[in-house]
Amino acid sequence: MKFKNVIQQAFEQEEKKDSRHINALEQQILMKVRQEKTQDEEIKSFFPIHKFFWTPQWIPQFSLALAMVMVIVVSFSIVVNTPVSAKSPIIDALISLRNALQKELTHLLGTDPTYRDKSTQKYKQAQQEWCTVSARSPEEQEKAVAAVRELLDRPDADVKYECIKNPNDNAGEQAQTEIYAVDFDRFIVDSKTNHVTEMTEKEGKWGENKDGSKWTSPRKPLDYTPRYDKIGAERLAREFITSHEKALGKIDLSKLTLESNQKDDGLDKINFIFTWKGEPQTRKISQPYKTCSKDVKPEDATSHDANGVPCVMATEDRFTPQISITFTQGGQLVSYFNELSHPEK
């Protein structure tokens, strides 16, 4: 098949390890393409034999067969994750197609009024396609999956990829974090380091039945057996952070100041919350914004609003690096947040 041959020619100089990975990706592409009866017509229409270009007229038809989406996704994953000395026209076309699809889906989900109801299948399908086309390669995602499993101490945990999170909601930028789920928990993974930066319980759902009774989705079962007091829980938290370096990264708690709290719901269910904080720092804002306040000094003002209130352009803000972890009195991990880095705002 022409598409397969193009991929082989583009990467035939790669090492054996990369070649095996490419072959596996080719098989995934072919498996999806065979499911479509009109595969030849679609591929020819998108990739003419003598011309490697695309036109934006295809964009509104973003609900094309999943096979075509998978071709774009997998091919783009090869481009961004495999070292290549030079890009061919077909690779440039794939990048353009992937970016266009992602941009159009972002526009539809964010501005099209017919997609405002997130409970509809129309919205869910578009959201799922956006997450799929934005995903990293399976080989890269395996690293994130391994980190989540290591954090849970469950080598066989069923880790499911959900979506990515783009910095500043800019689809043109490389994703910084990915979202994964296991049972009742959701995990945020840094796509550069493959370290888990956040673990929280997935939000529950609730509603009302026709008879007026209430219903709620199942919640995460928590162990509140009184095994730990505050001192014991702190020791547990420290050991957990230092013993899960592969999943969390190397964290030096000795350079941070500890704040300890506990939450008791009055039913002998106690959660211990430990937060280690660093010194407040200043971080640059990637997208400066105008802020207006009477507290702005006249000599600092760059403009005024309609009411004459002085305004300035904010280019930086204050940031306190910190890490927080919560355990039940039974020793069960409830949540984890790592905000030690300096993410752009």
Q: How far is CA 274 from the centre of its chain?
A: 25
With a cut of 50, say whether residue 210 has pLDDT above it: yes
Residues near 301 by beta carbon (within 8 Å), at least 6 away in sequence: 310, 311, 312
Question: Mean pLDDT throughout 297-306?
Answer: 88
Share of the chain above pLDDT 70, in %: 62
Q: With beta carbons less than 8 A apart as the criterion, state whether 92 and 134 touch.
A: no
Q: What tokens does 104 get?
A: 């159009």
Provide the pLDDT for residue 152.
96
Measured at the alpha carbon of residue 226, what is the angle toward residues 224 and 229, in degrees to the nearest 5? 115
Q: Is 124 helix (H, G, I), strand (E, B) or coil?
A: helix
136 φψ region: left (φ > 0), alpha (ψ -120 to 50), beta (else): beta
Other residues' Cβ atoms within 10 Å of the Cβ of residue 174: 12
pLDDT per position as a tens digit, 160-189 = 999 987 544 444 444 589 999 999 999 999
pLDDT band at 91, cuts 50/70/90?
low
pLDDT per position as a tens digit, 4-15 = 454 455 445 444
Residue that is written with structure tokens 């200043």 in the block: 282
Highest mean pLDDT pick, 95-109, 166-180, 231-245, 278-292: 231-245
Question: Mean pLDDT throughout 306-311?
Answer: 91
Provide the pLDDT for residue 33.
45
CA distance 280 to 86: 44
Question: Mean pLDDT throughout 218-246?
Answer: 95
CA distance 247 to 199: 12
- Reduce the secondary structure of 203-263 to three states and give it as a string: CCCEEECCCCCEEECCCCCCCCCCCCCHHHHHHHHHHHHHHCHHHHCCCCHHHCEEEEEEE
Other residues' Cβ atoms within 10 Å of the Cβ of residue 321: 18
Provide the pLDDT for residue 199.
96
Q: What tokens does 161 get?
A: 């990829």
pLDDT per position as a tens digit, 125-166 = 777 777 887 788 899 999 999 999 999 999 999 999 999 875
Provide the pLDDT for residue 284.
79
Reported as half-sphere exposure (CB side, CA atoms, 13 A), residue 342 has a value of 13
Window from 105-109, 164-168, 172-176, 248-252 with minimum mean pLDDT: 172-176
With a cut of 90, say whether residue 326 has pLDDT above it: yes
Provide the pLDDT for residue 229.
96
Share of the chain above pLDDT 90, in %: 37
In terms of Cβ atoms closer than 10 Å to its own Cβ (0-12, 13-18, 19+), residue 49 is: exposed
CA distance 320 to 301: 27
CA distance 220 to 185: 8
Provide the pLDDT for residue 56.
40
Mean pLDDT of the chain: 75
Helix axes 2-10, 89-111, angle to 10 degrees: 110
pLDDT band at 31, cuts 50/70/90?
low
